[in-house]
């Protein structure tokens, strides 16, 4: 049923296909096979040993970089781009997301390359002036202190659960005028590849094309990572997701290599007692939860898995939480297919968990399954112990007589907290932030269009940090006092 996909190395404007001796096979998701050139033979193609070779990008105005990216965006449209089509087909085969959801995710990719958006992104993060030249930091004599944001050599260990990661990586490294090496994930080895190949189609000699390399090697391949992660070859490592990939790479961190860790995250929601008081409020909260949990079929870090509901734990109170649970289950079924669909196949482990809890009716109420989505209501103020594995649109509602106690379960791995109603925002915003939470959103059906990490507004922080500001090197050019005076006089 599954075919073998070729994953070429795309490096600095050249495409290297696996062939003859220079080919290794590896297994991907759901039985698909991949064939790639032997990465060990191509280390020289992947890294930029001499950082001064970044001069071409360094001297290119941000406006020209944006122009290239803006031209690239429309060419990534699924219907016109065979490389992207192949990435899409493979993603469908891998089965993490269903075709309608994938379709909307892929359809959103070209929009990320919108010129106005990119300009705002560059300016609101690093600052276009700082990317283009040396910016005086003060007035008069203080103008002798000048700062420039300088591009770096970056390794990106990307996550593959959504293709947007590949696009975002290309954009961020381009806007920071950096040399970009992408290590492909086995669960999406083709999207970054497709973007790089489309860049070659557009202009194989463009400095952005010449500063992008994309390859697959097995995460934890010590020989590879040792050869690449050297201060002479890499300045910054961005590690997305995957605790084991982050751990592997940390072994090679040494002073001089900066790690930008976008660790694995989980998200949750908090619902006030108002949602249990009348039917319209309950429906609104349920619709919000359905979107927060169901979007991208609950495969991403932004998805709600546990919902803390302000409620006592007596039977009458729990009945109301169960009523909310029924509304959420119904709301899952009503989600538009571009946002969320029934799962293509059951999740056997989670199914077994649901069935085990279903036998304990005095402790849990369970509805649904891992195809259409499900709800577990704890009759006790505790989340289920497999909360991190909640998937396929299954949420756990936990009654909390004192909602503030839910903070006990928040830490730096808690990315997004959805809240309903807005009263909770004022009440908990600061406590959540101090506990480690990185993004607080309103639970509402319209949030269906919101992106993962607040990128709908350009340049928002990501997982509590500002990655683009960390991707550049901030360099001071400090002139002597008298020259500063004469400069100021000009």
Partner 1 sequence: MSINTAKTVTLPADDPGSWPYHSIDDLLAISRHDYEHAQLEAMRFRFARLKTGVEALSRLVDRQGVEDFDSFEAALPLFFDHRVYKSYPLALIETRDFAKLTAWLNRLTTHDLLRIDLTGLRTLDDWLDRLDENGMLIGHSTGTTGKLSMLPRSRTEWPHWEATYNEAMRATTGVDPKTDFVPTFYPGYRGGHHMLAKMLELFNIPAAGGPEHWHTLYQTNVSSDLMSLAGRLQSVEDKSELIEMGLDPALLEAREAMIEQGRRREADMEAWFNKLIEEFRGKRVKLGGSFGDLVRVAQMGNAKGVKPGFAPGSFIMTGGGLKGVKDGPDDWETYVKEFFGIDTVGIVYSMSEIMGAAPRCSHGFYHMPPHTVLILLDPDAKPLPREGVQTGRCAVFDLMAETYWGGFISGDRITIHWDEDCGCGWKGPRIGGEVTRFAEMEGGDDKITCAGSQAAYNEFMNYVMQV
Interactions with partner 1, residue window 130-149 (CB under 8 A): none
* Site track 219-248 with partner 1 (rule: CB under 8 A), x = hit: xx-------------------xxxxxx---
Number of alpha carbons in the 13 Å side-chain half-sphere of residue 214: 32
Select the residue interacting with partner 1 from 8, 136, 151, 185 (CB under 8 A).
185
Strands 473-478, 145-150: pairing kind: antiparallel
Q: Of 124-132, 166-174, 262-270, 440-448, which segment contacts partner 1 by CB under 8 A?
A: 262-270
- Measured from the CB atom, the residue of 240 and 428 that comes closer to partner 1 is 240
- The minimum distance between CB 227 and partner 1, in angstroms, equals 18
Give every CB contact of residue 52 below 8 A, 6+ residues apart in sequence.
none
- For residues 219 and 183, the answer to whether their CB atoms sit within 8 Å is yes
The answer to the question of residue 353 lying near partner 1 (CB under 8 A) is yes
The answer to the question of residue 161 lying near partner 1 (CB under 8 A) is yes
- The minimum distance between CB 243 and partner 1, in angstroms, equals 6
Residue 274 backbone dihedrals phi, psi, to 5 degrees: -55, -35
The answer to the question of residue 39 lying near partner 1 (CB under 8 A) is no
Buried b (16+ CB within 10 A) or exposed e, 52-78: eebeebbebebeebbebbbebbebbeb
The answer to the question of residue 315 lying near partner 1 (CB under 8 A) is no
Number of residues counted as binding partner 1 (CB under 8 A): 51
- The minimum distance between CB 6 and partner 1, in angstroms, equals 18
- Measured from the CB atom, the residue of 112 and 157 that comes closer to partner 1 is 157
* Site track 374-413 with partner 1 (rule: CB under 8 A), x = hit: ----x-xxx-xx--x-----------------------xx
- HEC readout, 417-480: EEEECCHHHHHHHHHHHHHCCCEEEECCHHHHHCCCCCCCCCCCCECCECHHHHHCEEEEEECC
Buried b (16+ CB within 10 A) or exposed e, 224-251: bbebbbeeebbbbbbbbbbeebbebbee
Distances (CA, A) of 415 to 18, 286, 301: 39, 21, 7
The answer to the question of residue 490 lying near partner 1 (CB under 8 A) is no
- The minimum distance between CB 302 and partner 1, in angstroms, equals 8
The answer to the question of residue 416 lying near partner 1 (CB under 8 A) is no
- The minimum distance between CB 196 and partner 1, in angstroms, equals 19
> Residue 141 and residue 479: Cα distance in Å, rounded?
10
Distances (CA, A) of 367 to 324, 325, 345: 12, 8, 18
- The minimum distance between CB 350 and partner 1, in angstroms, equals 11
- Measured from the CB atom, the residue of 182 and 472 that comes closer to partner 1 is 182
Where does this chain bind partner 1 (CB under 8 A)? 29, 157-162, 165, 185-187, 218-220, 240-245, 262-266, 299-301, 303, 348, 352-353, 355-364, 378, 380-382, 384-385, 388, 412-413
């Amino acid at each position: 049923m599954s075919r073998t996909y070729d994953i070429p190395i795309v490096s600095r404007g050249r495409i290297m296909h696996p062939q003859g001796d220079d080919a290794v096979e590896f297994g991907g998701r759901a039985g698909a096979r991949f064939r790639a050139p032997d990465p060990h033979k191509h280390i020289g193609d992947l890294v930029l040993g001499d950082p001064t070779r970044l001069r071409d990008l360094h001297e290119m105005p941000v406006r020209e970089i944006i122009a290239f990216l803006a031209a690239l965006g429309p060419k990534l449209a699924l219907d016109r781009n065979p490389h992207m089509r192949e990435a899409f087909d493979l993603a469908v085969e891998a089965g993490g997301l269903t075709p309608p959801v994938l379709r909307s995710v892929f359809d959103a990719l070209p929009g990320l390359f919108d010129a106005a958006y990119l300009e705002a992104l560059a300016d609101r993060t690093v600052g276009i002036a700082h990317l283009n030249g040396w910016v005086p930091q003060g007035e008069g004599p203080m103008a002798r202190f000048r700062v420039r944001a300088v591009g770096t050599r970056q390794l990106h260990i990307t996550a593959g659960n959504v293709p947007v990661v590949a696009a975002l990586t290309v954009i961020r490294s381009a806007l920071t005028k950096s040399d970009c090496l992408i290590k492909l994930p086995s669960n999406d080895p083709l999207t970054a590849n497709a973007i790089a190949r489309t860049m070659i189609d557009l202009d194989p000699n463009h400095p952005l094309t010449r500063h992008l390399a994309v390859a697959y090697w097995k995460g934890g391949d010590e020989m590879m990572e040792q050869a690449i992660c050297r201060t002479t070859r890499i300045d910054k490592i961005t590690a997305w997701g995957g605790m084991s990939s982050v751990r592997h790479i940390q072994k090679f961190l040494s002073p001089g290599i900066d790690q930008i860790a976008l660790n694995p995250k989980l998200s949750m929601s908090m619902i006030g007692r108002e949602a249990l008081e009348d039917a319209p409020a309950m429906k609104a909260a349920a619709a919000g939860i359905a979107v927060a949990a169901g979007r991208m079929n609950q495969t991403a870090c932004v998805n709600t898995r546990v919902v803390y509901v302000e409620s006592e734990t007596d039977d009458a109170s729990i009945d109301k939480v169960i009523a909310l649970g029924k509304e959420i289950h119904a709301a899952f079924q009503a989600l538009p297919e571009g946002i969320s669909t029934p799962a293509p196949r059951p999740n056997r482990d989670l199914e077994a968990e649901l069935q085990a809890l279903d036998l304990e009716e005095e402790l849990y109420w369970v509805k649904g399954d891992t195809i259409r989505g499900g709800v577990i209501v704890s009759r006790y103020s505790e989340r289920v112990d497999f909360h991190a594995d909640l998937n396929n649109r299954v949420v756990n509602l936990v009654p909390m007589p004192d909602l503030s106690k839910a903070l006990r379960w928040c830490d730096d791995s808690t990315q997004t907290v959805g809240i309903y109603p807005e009263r909770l925002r004022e009440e908990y915003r600061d406590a959540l932030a101090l506990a480690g939470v990185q993004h607080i959103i309103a639970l509402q059906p319209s949030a269906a269009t919101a992106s993962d990490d607040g990128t709908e507004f350009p340049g928002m922080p990501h997982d509590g940090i500002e990655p683009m500001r960390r991707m550049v090197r901030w360099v001071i050019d400090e002139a002597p006092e008298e020259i500063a005076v004469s400069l100021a006089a000009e």
